[in-house]
Amino acid sequence: MSTSQVMQAPAVAAAEPRGLSSGMIFLLATTCAMVAAGSYFSQPLLPVLGPEMGLGSSTGLIVSLTQIGFCVGLVLVAPLGDLVENRRLVLVMLSCSVAALTLAAFSTNGGMLLTSSVLIGFSATSVQILVPLSAQMARPEERGRVMGKVTSGLLFGALLARPVASSVTFHFGWRALFGGAAVAVAIVAVLLSRALPERRPQANARYGALLLSLWKLPAAHPLLLARASAQAMLFGAFSLFWTAVPFELTRHHGLTQQGIALFAVAGAGGALSAIFAGRIADRGWAVPASGIAIISVGLAFALAGATSSVWVLAFAAIAIDAGVQCNHVLSQKAVVSMAPAMGSRLNSLYVTTFIIGGALGSSVAAPLVDRSWHLVTAGGALAALVALSIWFLRLRARRVRA
């Protein structure tokens, strides 16, 4: 089968969507939270992990290899949601997560820990299989609400992972952290094995043709390119802020590591916007809501640059999180819904694009904050302005076609 045929081949569930119960949505959200958290546990623990594992100047590779593993999984594994039975695919990836977290817990040298880091990131791809799967299982009129709730679980897992990792490591040690995470993921995997229905796509393409079709999707779906590019700018701003703000809080506000952890917990409140964003999407208000979300991020960065109060800075952090996550849910719902037969591939490209934006934002954070906090806030505001320009051009194109 050619790549053009793969792009057009239908892929539907064995039965029409019957909707999801509240319990099932909670289980999916919890699973995403558990898996996502495992990918971020190592970030605040580098000062502990590096010396104990003898990594020295290579300590930063723990985080980098986790991110690389996740991106590889997005490209090589997530698209399989359009080709193979989804329930089995999810359970295989969750089993890999359990194995990777267990390997981290029992690592005795730097090589083992770095290997586990790659595998933790790679297996975390399961969350980006579950999100489009939840959309396919939901009724069309509730798709945004379901995706919003499942995504909120993922976001809470990612945002709360740092303070949880620091606290558990302080009281029980980092090995207990990773071992406990492995047990938690194993439990939700068992529950999903009993509760998750089968979804068997009807595509009969070869794996190679499926991957090759990824290159043609952006040109065939301009909305994917616009949504992914705008979110890449916003996620770049988000990563810039959260990488730089600990330095600002330590140098100019006198916060300790415990204070910074509490600040991060406060910022996590912005993830609640994902739930409301899903409901907004179901009402057909995704386009204006995206514009408002992007503008709120830009204004929050302006506020962060103008304040000398840590409380106002915390409010700006919540607004940045809320705007970025709101636009993410609105965009992801639009991307997955535009062609259900290719939902996994479209989602894979969308997520990969904005993660690249996040990596770029993180990479420039240290040099900018070393010079001035105002350069950080100006950079975030500029990224939001670019995202707003992309949104405006897309809106204008829609009106021209109409």
What are the structural domain ranges in the chain?
A: 15-204, 212-402
End-to-end CA distance of the chain: 35
DSSP assignment string, 123-159: HGGGHHHHHHHHHHHS-GGGHHHHHHHHHHHHHHHHH
Task: Tell me the pLDDT tens digit for each residue of 139-150.
Answer: 877 888 888 888
Nearest to 97 by CA among 131, 61, 51, 128: 128
pTM assigned to the model: 0.79
Tell me: the pLDDT tens digits for 340-351? 777 788 888 898
pLDDT score at 11 = 42
CATH number (3.40.50.300, 3.30.70.580, 1.20.1250.20, 1.10.238.10) of 212-402 reads: 1.20.1250.20
Mean pLDDT for all residues in the chain: 85
Contacts of 86 by beta carbon, 8 Å cutoff, 6+ apart: 129, 133, 136, 198, 199, 200, 201
Taking residues 272-289, what's their average pLDDT? 82
Asked if pLDDT for residue 239 goes beyond 90, the answer is no
CB 25 within 8 A of CB 150: yes
With tokens 């997560």, the residue in question is 97
> Between 1.20.1250.20, 3.30.1300.10, 3.40.1390.10, 3.40.50.9100, what CATH number should domain 15-204 receive?
1.20.1250.20
Answer for the pair 232, 353: CB distance below 8 angstroms, yes or no. Answer: yes
> Would 15-204 and 212-402 be classified into the same CATH topology?
yes
